Structure 1
Amino acid sequence: MGRYFLGPVSVVLLGLSPWGNGAAAATATTAPPELLQTLERIEAAANDRDLDAIMQFYSQTFSSDTGFDHTLLRQTLEAFWQRYGTLSYDIELLSWEPTSSGGYTIETLTRVQGVQVRPERRLSLSAEVTSRQRLQDGQVASQEILSETSRLVSGSNPPTVDIQLPNTLTPGQSFTFDTVVIEPLQGRSLMGVAVDEGVTAVDFFEPRPVVFDVLTAGGLYKLGTAPNTPDQRWISAVIIREDGLVVETRRVRVEPSP
C-alpha cells in the first residue's frame, strides 16, 4: 500500500503558543481588520498553491510543537501539493487576543478538501485542523495543533466508519481504538489495519509499508499503550472493501494530567 497518511495537513495552515498575556480571548466578530486581512491572504495563497507567497506569511524563525521550522514547512508543503492535483482551503477564525509585543494569539479552524489521482485509484481528502498560532508583524511565528481529523476515501462505495478514540492520553495510559464499519457485511470481506505514527517532519517523509488483516467482526478493534513521555501521534484506521477504501486519521496528544 502507498503512504496515505496525512501529516502535512496540519502544518499547511495555521496552528501555537499559550495565550499571550493571560487575558480572555475575544471572538472572531471583534477581530481587527488587519488580522482578518492576513488570514484572507494566507487562505488565498494556499488556494493558489503559491508557495513563495504563503511562506512570506511564516517567520524565518517559525517553530511548531512538532519540530517543523521554516525550511521543513516549505519542503513538506511542496511535497503535499505535488501529491494532490486539486486542493482547497478554508480558514475560520475562532478567537483572538493581542499580545504584549503588539502581535496576536489566535485560534483557527482550517478545512481542507483535495483529490489525489494515482495510477490505481482516485483518492478524495477531507480534513479539519484546529490550531493556535502566534502572529507577529503579520507573520506566523509559532504554531500548535489542538486537534486534527482527516479522511481519505476511494472507490464507488467506500466504507462508512465510526471511530472511538480518545483525543488526549496520559503517558503510559492504555486505550482502545475501535473502528466500526456501519454497513452490514452482506457476505463481503473486509481487510484493515491500524497504524500509529509520529507527527514530526521525519515521520512524514518516512514510508511505512503495512500488512492488512482480514476483518471478520465488521470492524477493527485494537488495544494500545501511550508513550511514556509527552508526545503527539497520528493514529489511522485503514479499511478496504471490494467497493472502496477509507483511511481515517486522528491526532492524539499524550500529555500529563492537569
Structure 2
Amino acid sequence: MIKKNQKINKILNFSLLFIVAFYFSLQKQNLATAQNNNINSEVIELISRIDRASSNKDLETLNQYISPQFSSEDGLDNQTFLSTLESLWNSYTNLTYTTNINSTEENQGQLIINTTTIIEGSKQENGETVNLLSEITARQTIENQQLVGQEILTEKTRITTGANPPDITFRLPESARAGQVFDLDAIVEDPIGNGLILGGIKEERVNASLFTNPQPIELDALSAGGIFKRVTISEGDHWYSAIFIRDDGTTMITQRVRVE
C-alpha cells in the first residue's frame, strides 16, 4: 500500500530546499576550462573560495561572500538565503556541484556572471534512497567581492525514490509571457497495466515562503498514461510540479517557467 501523505510531504520538502542550493560551486576540473576561456582570474579565485566554503559546509566563511544587502528575484534576503541553505546541508551531506561559467561582464562597477550548475545528491530516508538531480542556469551579481543579487534563468529538478521510480517526461516551456496559454504534459512512459499509480500536478508562483513551507499536491489514481493540462500563466515566475507514486517507486519533477 502506498503511504502517499507521508511520502509526498517528504519529497516536497526535499525539492524546495534543493533548489536554493548555492550555485557558485566551481569544481576543480572546470578551472582550466575557465582559464582557457579567458575568464578573469579574480572571478576564478572568488568562486574557488566559495566552492571550498560550500564543500566544507562552512556557513560562517560563506557568509563573508554574501552581501548583507543580498536579494534575489525569488524574495530571498541574506538571512533567509543562508538559513535555507543550512537546512539543505543538514538534509544532504553528499551533494556534488558541477558549475560552468558561461559568460562574465562588467556593468557600472558590478560583475555579472552567468553560470550553469548540475547538482546531484542522495540520502537515506526511512530505508529508502532519495536521489536528486537538478540543472540550473543563473545570473549572479558581484560587487566588492560579495554576492549582491541572484536571478534564476532556468531550473529543473528531478527527485526519485524506490527501486523502480516511474519514467516521466515533463513538457512545458522554460519561459512565457504573462497571460500566455500553453500545454503542460506529464507523461508516464512506463505501462500502467493493472497496477495502481497515483499522480498530481501543482502550479505556484515562486515566493520566499515556499522554500520553508511547501504546499501539498492533490493526488488521484491514474487510469491513463499521464496528466495533461492547459495552463494560463500569470505574472511572476512559476514552479510547475508533477509527482507520480506507486508501490515500487516515486518520481517528482519541478520546473520553473520564467515569466518575461
Whether TM exceeds 0.5 here: the answer is yes
Match for residue 245 of structure 1 among 250, 253, 257: 250
Distance 1:87 1:106 in 2: 22
Match for residue 34 of structure 1 among 11, 27, 42: 42
Is 2:83 the partner of 1:78? no
Query: What is the total number of aligned residue pairs between the two structures?
Result: 242
Is 2:195 the partner of 1:188? yes
C-alpha contact 2:172 2:184 (8 A) present in aligned 1: yes
**Which shifted more, 116-125 or 172-181?**
116-125
Pairwise CA distance, 1:87: 1.4
**Which shifted more, 192-201 or 155-164?**
192-201
Question: What whole-Å deviation, never above 9, does each CA across 1:201-254 have from its counterpart, x for those lacking one?
Answer: 212222423331111111121222212xx2011111101122211011100112
Pairwise CA distance, 1:90: 2.1
Matches within 5 A, 1:51-90: 51-90=59-98
Aligned to 2:29: none
Match for residue 163 of structure 1 among 154, 170, 191: 170
Pairwise CA distance, 1:94: 0.8
Distance 1:192 1:29 in 2: 45
Aligned to 1:201: 208
Aligned to 1:20: none
Is 2:113 the partner of 1:113? no
Pairwise CA distance, 1:200: 2.0
Distance 1:216 1:27 in 2: 53
Is 2:22 the partner of 1:13? yes
C-alpha contact 2:19 2:157 (8 A) present in aligned 1: no
Pairwise CA distance, 1:11: 3.2
C-alpha contact 1:194 1:236 (8 A) present in aligned 2: yes
Aligned to 1:19: none
Aligned to 2:259: 254
State the SS of the aligned residue for 2:201: strand
**Runs of 4+ deviating beyond 3 Å:** 7-11
Matches within 5 A, 1:111-150: 111-119=118-126, 121-150=128-157
Distance 1:28 1:175, change over 3 A: farther
Task: Give the structure with the larger helix fraction.
Answer: 2
Aligned to 1:217: 224
Question: What whole-Å deviation, never above 9, does each CA across 1:95-118 have from its counterpart, x for those lacking one?
Answer: 1112331x4111001211122332
State the SS of the aligned residue for 2:165: coil
State the SS of the aligned residue for 2:84: helix
C-alpha contact 1:190 1:218 (8 A) present in aligned 2: no
Structure 2 portions without partners, runs of 5+: 1-7, 25-33
State the AA in 1 paired with 2:21: V
Is 2:100 the partner of 1:95? no
C-alpha contact 1:196 1:233 (8 A) present in aligned 2: yes
Is 2:180 the partner of 1:173? yes
Structure 1 portions without partners, runs of 5+: 16-25
Distance 1:27 1:194 in 2: 43
Distance 1:10 1:239 in 2: 20
Distance 1:231 1:184, change over 3 A: same
